[in-house]
Amino acid sequence: MRGRIVCFALAFCIMLGGTAMAGQTDGFAGTAFGTPLAALPSFMPLKKDGSVTYAVNLKERYRLNGQAPVVVYGFASGKLFAAYVRLDGLIERDAMAKRLTAEFGKPAAAADDGAAVLRWRKGKVKVKLKANAATGSLKLAYYSTANPGPLANLLDLDNVDLDALAKLSEKDKLTKEVTLPAASAPAKRSPFDGSVVK
């Protein structure tokens, strides 16, 4: 009986794709909001702006349709407050909105300087999906509902240059000679008996 429950839970997570892994009750991709940056050894700081620090997880687990988008984390006074995901070219806006709506309910919609913005709120998490048809950009942000005061405005997706942070991330990885582990290759199977070929 337990085995069936575990299999069902795994199948459900796979069906939801990246949103099941991203959205948790109070964090993103397995990291709880409020976690100190100092307690996250796999996180590499990219930029510090006063009391705000941006970092990437060198062991990033978030995947969307089997792909690894750029994920940047925002820390307010050293504690995780937000996660930003650059989705350009990985998924269509409507498909992502449908996934998020299935998880978080009906969104609030708005327009912002030519960009379509959808917002959700559930438990201790706020989610924002911003699509700009003119530039082809699609960005997603998860925020803690704990308000870090004036830093909350600095960490809003509208005030974060995710593209510049993504470039900085790539530059830092090269400069610091960081190599990310390659994605595991699928096992090769024999077409004759279904066994794994080594």
Structure confidence at residue 19 as a pLDDT band (50, 70, 90): very low
Residue 192 maps to a domain: no
C-alpha 129/C-alpha 138 separation (Å) is 7
Residue 4 maps to a domain: no
Look at residue 12 in the predicted model and tell me its pLDDT: 35
CA-closest candidate to residue 162, choices 140, 187, 136: 140
Look at residue 123 in the predicted model and tell me its pLDDT: 86
Look at residue 189 in the predicted model and tell me its pLDDT: 46
Residue 26 maps to a domain: yes
Residue 21 maps to a domain: yes
Determine contact, residues 58/178, Cβ cutoff 8 Å. Answer: yes
Determine contact, residues 60/72, Cβ cutoff 8 Å. Answer: no
What is the rounded average pLDDT of the residues 89-94? 93
Residue 8 maps to a domain: no
The answer for residues whose C-beta is within 8 angstroms of residue 89's C-beta and 6 or more apart is 136
Structural domain harbouring 156: 16-179
- How many folded domains does the chain comprise? 1
Residue 175 maps to a domain: yes
Determine contact, residues 31/144, Cβ cutoff 8 Å. Answer: no
Residue 150 maps to a domain: yes
Residue 48 confidence (pLDDT) above 70: yes
- When computed from its CA atoms, the radius of gyration of the chain, rounded to whole angstroms, is 18
**Above pLDDT 70, what percent of the chain?**
66
- Please give the C-alpha separations between residue 24 and each of 19, 20, 48, 179, in angstroms, as whole numbers: 9, 7, 26, 28
Residue 63 confidence (pLDDT) above 50: yes
The answer to whether the predicted template modeling score (pTM) of the entire model surpasses 0.85 is no
Residue 175 confidence (pLDDT) above 60: no
Residue 95 maps to a domain: yes
Chain mean pLDDT for the chain: 76
What is the rounded average pLDDT of the residues 159-169? 73
What phi and psi values does residue 13 have, to the nearest 5 degrees? Answer: -65, -40
Look at residue 156 in the predicted model and tell me its pLDDT: 72
The CATH number of the domain holding residue 91 is 3.40.1000
For the segment 105-162, what is each residue's pLDDT rounded down to a tens digit?
A: 999 999 888 889 999 998 889 999 999 988 889 999 999 887 666 666 666 766 677 7
β-bridge mates for residue 75, sequence order = 53, 80
